[in-house]
Amino acid sequence: MNTRLTWICHGATAASRKAMFPIDEPLETKATEEAGRMTALPRADRIAVSPALRARQTVDALGLQARIDPALGDCDHGRWAGKSIAAIEAEEPENLMAWMTSPEAAPHGGESLVDLRTRVASWMDNESALGGHVIAISHATVIRAAVAHVLQAPPSSFWLIDVEPLAVIRMTSNGRRWSLRFQH
């Protein structure tokens, strides 16, 4: 069964602009306006969104109706949520380094990158079994995990994938494997 998956990264927030671990913050006004100007998206059989406010506001700005899916939630950053990367580097440099170099580490008490990738891959497999076209509005971390999964890349590749706010990433599955799909 063929499946098309269109990922949309939520718009920019104050936390993303300030290099902070996110909390459930709203979109910046400019991001809401940018999402509203995005070109028309193809028809979808299913539209799913992270439960986070910034993702739900992106859905609203895009004029879509979506079901909230907890599996699309951002990486759980534990006690680091709401703090800047610079603050964590000053307070817990060894923990930050462990998190960035050991994908199975979760020194913040939240979710490891390996666990995030497992969660995202499971969601993708479930969607692949349903077929059709699904649009997912989620977070850069979730989309990074999805791209690494599709490429069967080592977990360390997570940090080599850059996903901008409002980026659109397309994937396809033939029921056996996923592929990245580029189009103009």
Dist. CA 38–CA 31, nearest whole Å: 11
Q: What's the CATH number where 62 sits?
A: 3.40.50.1240
Rounded to an integer, what is the distance from CA 143 to the centroid of its chain?
A: 4
Task: Check whether 13 has a pLDDT greater than 90.
Answer: yes
Range of 48's domain?
3-181
Task: Check whether 42 has a pLDDT greater than 90.
Answer: no
* Mean pLDDT of all residues in 164-169: 96
Dist. CA 171–CA 93, nearest whole Å: 36
Dist. CA 129–CA 13, nearest whole Å: 33
Task: Check whether 152 has a pLDDT greater than 80.
Answer: yes
Residue 184 pLDDT class (50, 70, 90 cuts): low
Residue 182 pLDDT class (50, 70, 90 cuts): confident
- What is the percentage of the chain residues whose pLDDT exceeds 90? 88
Residue 41 pLDDT class (50, 70, 90 cuts): confident
Number of domains in the chain: 1
pLDDT at 171: 97
> In sequence order, which residues have a C-beta less than 8 Å from that of residue 130 and are 6 or more positions away?
1, 3, 45, 46
